A and B are shown apart, each in its own frame.
Chain A
């Protein structure tokens, strides 16, 4: 105990003093900003409030971003320009081709299933008795990290020789129905989809909660009015509910796309990127931190960035549209 304290006390006190310093500085800034008046008030307020954010943005985003783009044109040690070599490697290497196909599959399949299943669950569970219980259960996997979820699914996908006892859930189920289980992580292209199931399992609860809130936000008078006009069940959903939660549905989709692009933990834990299941983020990590090729790693990061950009643009545009409506 005393050892624990003696080791960690300085750590805690330094953390506390940093937090205190942060609030003191913040307080000073606000005090100064509050005192300014007259013509100069606006420019002073702008610099004080936007300045720190801009500096942090520059240091945390713009500079690293530019450096990554520069590194992508350089050799593994980032001390010599090699032109488009790293991008040429990406076009020519057959492994990168598999990686790109897998990443695109992840972007197409995962968000759609996460959002669709989330919506389905939200609609089905809406206004049933004890709604919060099944919802809490479905939301719980969200609290598990991807690595944790992957370890759970390693047991689900565990495979033994067909003549032996199957301890893996999936293999056991398949065997129960009289079929022969196979080594799931080796079965192409099924293995990639089996990995996606892990993502969907952890994330659909998120979609469900967000969409459920949106459904509850549909005004009751509209629902009642349409019921009077004879809209029930599917018609009510298609003509009233879905159009009214469409915006939220798209947000869930977009979150899913960004998440699928960044997926790394699941692939690394389950297959290490082997057996044609590799994805962009995992290869970026391997190139940069295992094979020490900062050039190729950065080039992959740039591609990842380019793939996220359209979604960012779309999100900003829809935000603007919403503002215009209000």
Chain B
């Protein structure tokens, strides 16, 4: 009995110790809270965000939101997963949805809206989007006439990564037309260099870089009307125009003279593909704006005179002006608590976009962000094209196509096209056959 009493005392002591540790609060640093005056203080509230964005970008996002969190008292918890696209629908269906999610596929947004769990955007968010984004951007966050999700980050896919140092050492100049680029590649091949590197490997999403290459050429060759028709399947994959664009991709990224081992592209991960750029193991890689983050991981400097930088993938047809293929995330809400609305509104504001842009690699199509705020030259370059009024903008087609195609047969067939030498005729036949009938 005596022992038991002692035990109880120790347990109580331990518990009170724990309690005292819990109540310790950190002192708030001096923060300028003026930009956040419009938000009510909501101390102790937590908002969860689920995303496909991973480290190190998550930390940067948190830093960008630090002032907002300090001033409003709202705690934002971001959880990233590389299985995001598979997990989010499961969590939503299982009533375990996050408060907010950054959805990188408008098609996925439409699917989730069908579940009835996505909240229509609050007025404050609609006001921000109307003020800062173009109508085409707002349209991508709209499902069946109702606006749900404000654009978040955006990315520019029409870039070619290269090494300014290597180009200088070899006496190469950045090409500004398609024929200049092919002539440059021939020059590199003559020197025994690998002109283009590529990698399709991406776990369960293997094949997506090839869908990007085809999108670049379809938009460049044929313009918006054909591109959007292709997305809706009114222009089939077997259409001669799409087939001819795929042939152009084949003469580019499957040209053994330029890429070396064509089949190896299918088994190389997209992250590894560009690793050789800083030391000239390969000279050019067509990849999106985010790729700077990956090259920089090895310590390479990203600047117009550094180890790596990007140039704009040239147009192929003079009738299509400044073709830009891009993508982006959209902030969808599964809750409408006041703190969730506050975070949602903040994320769609120019204040957030500017503070995020100032940190490092990130692009916003938010017109409230001054170009001078971009710290990163690649992002400035991308933002210039994304905001260009003359540009022919195409949202990543595979993200807009039905998942059975855009996240299924297109990935699979394009991987077989590169890895197994499947013919274009067989590839387009298989993709067309997989298009959902309805």
Do chains A and B stick together as partners? yes
Measured CB to CB, the residues of A under 8 A from B are 1-2, 5-6, 9, 76-77, 94-95, 159, 161, 183, 185-186, 188, 268-269, 271-276, 285-287, 289-293
18 further A-B pairs in the complex, CB-CB below 8 A; given A275-B416, A286-B408:
A5-B18, A9-B18, A159-B264, A161-B261, A161-B264, A186-B420, A268-B203, A272-B201, A274-B415, A275-B419, A285-B86, A289-B86, A289-B89, A290-B204, A291-B403, A291-B407, A292-B404, A293-B403
B412 to A274, Cβ gap below 8 A?
yes
A268 to B202, CA, bound (A): 11
Nearest A residue (CB) for B205: A272
A61 → chain B, closest Cβ, in Å?
Answer: 18
Q: Which of A5, A94, A183, A285 contacts B22 (CB 8 A)?
A: A5
A276 surroundings in chain B (CB, below 8 A): 420
B273 surroundings in chain A (CB, below 8 A): none
A9 to B22, CA, bound (A): 10
A290 to B114, Cβ gap below 8 A?
no
Measured CB to CB, the residues of B under 8 A from A are 18, 21-22, 24, 85-86, 89-90, 111, 114, 201-207, 260-261, 263-264, 266-267, 403-404, 407-408, 412, 415-416, 419-420, 430, 436
**Could you list some 18 contacts between A and B, CB below 8 A?**
A2-B21, A2-B24, A5-B21, A77-B114, A161-B260, A161-B264, A186-B267, A186-B419, A188-B420, A268-B204, A269-B203, A271-B206, A272-B202, A272-B206, A274-B419, A286-B204, A290-B86, A292-B89
Nearest A residue (CB) for B108: A292
A285 to B267, CA, bound (A): 21
A35 to B85, CA, bound (A): 54
Nearest B residue (CB) for A161: B261
A290 to B402, CA, bound (A): 11
A152 to B292, CA, bound (A): 28
- Which of A6, A76, A183, A292 has the most C-beta atoms of chain B within 10 angstroms of its own C-beta? A292
A95 to B114, CA, bound (A): 29
Task: Give the number of residue pairs across the A-B interface with Cβ within 8 Å.
Answer: 79
Known contacts: A159-B267, A186-B420. The answer to whether A291 contacts B260 by CB under 8 A is no
Q: Which of B261, B263, B419, B436 contacts A76 (CB 8 A)?
A: B436
B404 to A293, Cβ gap below 8 A?
yes
A292 to B264, Cβ gap below 8 A?
no
Q: Which of B22, B263, B404, B436 contacts A6 (CB 8 A)?
A: B22
- Which of A95, A268, A274 has the most C-beta atoms of chain B within 10 angstroms of its own C-beta? A274
Known contacts: A77-B114, A291-B403. The answer to whether A183 contacts B416 by CB under 8 A is no
B307 → chain A, closest Cβ, in Å?
Answer: 22
A94 to B407, CA, bound (A): 18
A76 to B261, CA, bound (A): 39
B89 to A274, Cβ gap below 8 A?
no
Q: Which of A95, A159, A161, A268 contacts B412 (CB 8 A)?
A: A95
A285 to B203, CA, bound (A): 13
A286 → chain B, closest Cβ, in Å?
Answer: 7
A272 to B207, CA, bound (A): 10
A2 to B25, CA, bound (A): 9
B416 surroundings in chain A (CB, below 8 A): 274-275
A186 to B203, Cβ gap below 8 A?
no
A77 to B261, CA, bound (A): 42
A49 to B420, CA, bound (A): 57
B18 surroundings in chain A (CB, below 8 A): 5, 9
B24 to A292, Cβ gap below 8 A?
no
A65 to B202, CA, bound (A): 33
Nearest A residue (CB) for B415: A274
Nearest B residue (CB) for A293: B404
B204 to A274, Cβ gap below 8 A?
no
B206 to A183, Cβ gap below 8 A?
no
B261 surroundings in chain A (CB, below 8 A): 161, 183
Nearest A residue (CB) for B405: A291
B365 → chain A, closest Cβ, in Å?
Answer: 27
A6 to B416, CA, bound (A): 51
Nearest B residue (CB) for A188: B420
B263 to A186, Cβ gap below 8 A?
yes
- Which of A9, A161, A186 has the most C-beta atoms of chain B within 10 angstroms of its own C-beta? A186
Nearest B residue (CB) for A296: B404
B101 → chain A, closest Cβ, in Å?
Answer: 16
A186 surroundings in chain B (CB, below 8 A): 263, 266-267, 419-420
B205 surroundings in chain A (CB, below 8 A): 272
A286 to B415, CA, bound (A): 16
A293 surroundings in chain B (CB, below 8 A): 403-404
A248 to B368, CA, bound (A): 71
A290 to B107, CA, bound (A): 12
A321 to B92, CA, bound (A): 47
A286 surroundings in chain B (CB, below 8 A): 204, 408
A290 to B407, Cβ gap below 8 A?
yes
A272 to B204, Cβ gap below 8 A?
yes
Nearest A residue (CB) for B111: A292
A159 surroundings in chain B (CB, below 8 A): 264, 267
A165 to B92, CA, bound (A): 48
Nearest B residue (CB) for A75: B438
Chain A to chain B: the 7 pairs with minimum beta-carbon distance, closest first: A289-B86, A2-B21, A272-B206, A291-B408, A6-B22, A291-B403, A291-B404
B206 to A274, Cβ gap below 8 A?
yes
A274 to B207, Cβ gap below 8 A?
yes
A287 to B260, CA, bound (A): 34
A188 surroundings in chain B (CB, below 8 A): 420
A185 surroundings in chain B (CB, below 8 A): 267
